[in-house]
Structure 1
Amino acid sequence: MRLVFGLVLILGIGLAGFAVYMAKNYIQGYQAQLAQERAKSAPAFETVDVYVATQKLEYGQRLLKDHVSLVTYPVGSLPKGTYSTEEDLFPEGEDEPRTVLRTMEPKEAILDVKVTGPGEDAGITSQLQRGMRAFAIKVDVASGVSGFLRPGDRVDVYWTGRDASERGIDGRRGGREITKLIETGVRLIAVDQEANGDTTEAMIARTVTVAVNPQQVAALAQAQSTGSLSLSLVGANDESVAEVIEVDQNMLLGIEQAAAPTPQVKEEICTIKTRRGGEVISTPIPCATN
């Protein structure tokens, strides 16, 4: 009886071991097959983790760690100026956070053009690139495109004044009045005291502030002091470069300026005088050439 029990026990252990072995092989085969399927269905492009907004962020809001999270992005579709590490986005921690410059929606990538530097406010200075200066231009309803200007727009600047190189009818300097394009594609960074580019309300501005280099500052200052400036709004997707434009009243009305009269050259007459008795006789002769 004991022998039979022992044989049954040995047989049971053998069958259990065989079952475990078969189960192990089956599981390993299944895992290998699953890994192959995952490899086939895995994306065939490189990815990277970048910070995105977890909620709607508006102009002037302080950017904190609770407002962002890491999301996987395809490298080929990655926008320029993203942040991939906490050290890049929060180099000073939350003691000196960045400030939002443009409204961002949830899941939108945090870009360096939409936030200030660490500890900076959302003022005009944060929107000036290296080498650029802020310059204010006086405008009204007519010259300011009827209040349709917003921070972030681009404008062409026209100057209207008298040509100082010419003389008028009365002999004074500054004859004809002309309108000339002096700057193209200048970016607005503020309208009056508003620097938020997300505003949608029309504003009848008294001044607009543009970002220009020092040479353009001098040109605009001279133009503003010697005439009047008008702005022309450039389309958002317009990448064309305006040509040199100068218009005066004659060109506007299609009047051709009369050509200056050709000076008439007075014919020179040479004579030789001879005296015959009491009479003097003049005889024309060819004039000598130099």
Structure 2
Amino acid sequence: MRLMFGLVLVIGLGLAGFAVYMAQTYIGQYETELAAERAARAKQIKVEPVVVAKTTLRYGQQITLDDLRRVHWPTASMPEGTFQTAEDLFPKGGPQFRTVLRAMEAGEPLLRVKVTEPGADAGITSRLGRGMRAFAIRVDVTSGVSGFLRPGDKVDVYWTGHAQGRQVTKLIDTGIRLIAVDQIADEDTMKPKVARTITVEATPQQVAALAQAQSTGRLSLSLVGAYDDVVAEAVEVDQNILLGIEDAPVIAQEQAQVCTIRTRRGSEVVDMPIPCTN
């Protein structure tokens, strides 16, 4: 009887030890998995809601909420000027559509610079910044850079005309942005076009200068590189500078001194030259 009792006790102790071992193993695995989950959560990217295009959107297309959807976008790479809610995009009580100014692909965040204000169309006025004005310049195949100008490009403007008795070419403005070429304002167009007029965005002061220059001479445009941030310095060239001819110095000639003596002949007074004695 004692032998049986001892055998049962030994077996019980063994089972208890095995149960403790299995419990420790399970708890250890659970803690390891919990620590891994916490580490994964710590590395999780922070996101925010943003409005994106459902399908490809092209210039001039009117968009409503049916053309858009909300997705979560990484906060660290969030573009500037996005819309996060429908109320932000279309305020209550206002028009429920906007017009596309720049083409967007499906899944691309909707940006304020690529759409008009609610209810506006894609006309020239929607492209003008605050305090800016639109001004048209006459161009041809040579002055218009052979038809390579597109809306959104920047140009330097040169004036050629007569000043102080000589023909001069002078840089009168730099980095002026084009907002339309003829009647085309789509910045995504890739088709070359020889334009007759181009429309630029300028301040009222610049508009006055361009109008005066266009009425008194000939304007030519020089295309500025897309990533060029160098501001051109003052430039003025005439024929002598072009050919390297130096202007002859003007030598003032001393005016010959004339001495006279006045005599009267009857009723007539006569001035007669005589040598100057100084």
**TM-score, length of structure 2 as denominator length:** 0.78
CA distance in 2, matches of 1:38, 1:267: 109
| Letter aligned with residue 118 of structure 1 | P
Task: Determine the structure 1 residue equivalent to 2:231.
Answer: 241
CA distance in 1, matches of 2:93, 2:150: 33
CA distance in 1, matches of 2:179, 2:111: 18
Q: Residue 260 of structure 1: CA displacement?
A: 0.7
The number of residues matched between the two structures is 241
| SS of alignment partner, residue 202 of structure 1 | coil
Q: 1:121 to 1:176 in 2, by over 3 A?
A: same
Task: Determine the structure 1 residue equivalent to 2:55.
Answer: 55
Greater mean alpha carbon deviation, residues 191-200 or residues 76-85: 76-85
Q: 1:218 aligns with which of 208, 211, 221?
A: 208
Q: Residue 106 of structure 1: CA displacement?
A: 1.5
Greater mean alpha carbon deviation, residues 49-58 or residues 133-142: 49-58
Task: Determine the structure 2 residue equivalent to 1:109.
Answer: 109
Task: Determine the structure 2 residue equivalent to 1:139.
Answer: 139
CA distance in 1, matches of 2:68, 2:55: 8
Q: 1:215 to 1:182 in 2, by over 3 A?
A: same
Task: Determine the structure 1 residue equivalent to 2:40.
Answer: 41
Q: Residue 36 of structure 1: CA displacement?
A: 4.1
- Deviations, residues 130-186 of structure 1 (Å, cap 9, x unaligned): 1000000000000001110010100011000011xx2xxxxxxxx101011111000
Task: Determine the structure 2 residue equivalent to 1:152.
Answer: 152
| SS of alignment partner, residue 141 of structure 1 | coil
| SS of alignment partner, residue 185 of structure 1 | strand
Q: 1:261 aligns with which of 251, 264, 274?
A: 251
Within the alignment, does 1:182 sit opposite 2:181 as a pair? no
CA distance in 1, matches of 2:36, 2:68: 33
Percent identity, aligned pairs only, is 58
Task: Determine the structure 1 residue equivalent to 2:15.
Answer: none
5+ residue gaps in structure 2? 1-21, 260-274
| SS of alignment partner, residue 188 of structure 1 | strand
Task: Determine the structure 2 residue equivalent to 1:126.
Answer: 126
Q: Residue 35 of structure 1: CA displacement?
A: 5.5
Q: 1:33 to 1:120 in 2, by over 3 A?
A: farther
8 A contact 2:155–2:222 mirrored in 1: yes
Q: 1:244 to 1:110 in 2, by over 3 A?
A: same
8 A contact 1:92–1:118 mirrored in 2: no
| Letter aligned with residue 113 of structure 1 | V
| Letter aligned with residue 40 of structure 1 | A
8 A contact 2:135–2:200 mirrored in 1: yes
- Deviations, residues 257-289 of structure 1 (Å, cap 9, x unaligned): 1111143476999xxxxxxxxxxxx9x7xx7xx
| Letter aligned with residue 84 of structure 1 | Q
| SS of alignment partner, residue 212 of structure 2 | helix
8 A contact 2:160–2:217 mirrored in 1: yes
CA distance in 1, matches of 2:219, 2:179: 18
Query: What is the RMSD computed on CA atoms of the aligned residues?
Result: 2.9
Q: 1:117 to 1:33 in 2, by over 3 A?
A: farther
Q: Residue 109 of structure 1: CA displacement?
A: 1.2
Q: 1:124 to 1:92 in 2, by over 3 A?
A: farther
8 A contact 1:65–1:94 mirrored in 2: no
| Letter aligned with residue 58 of structure 2 | E
| SS of alignment partner, residue 219 of structure 2 | strand
Q: Residue 67 of structure 1: CA displacement?
A: 2.0
5+ residue gaps in structure 1? 1-21, 167-174, 270-281
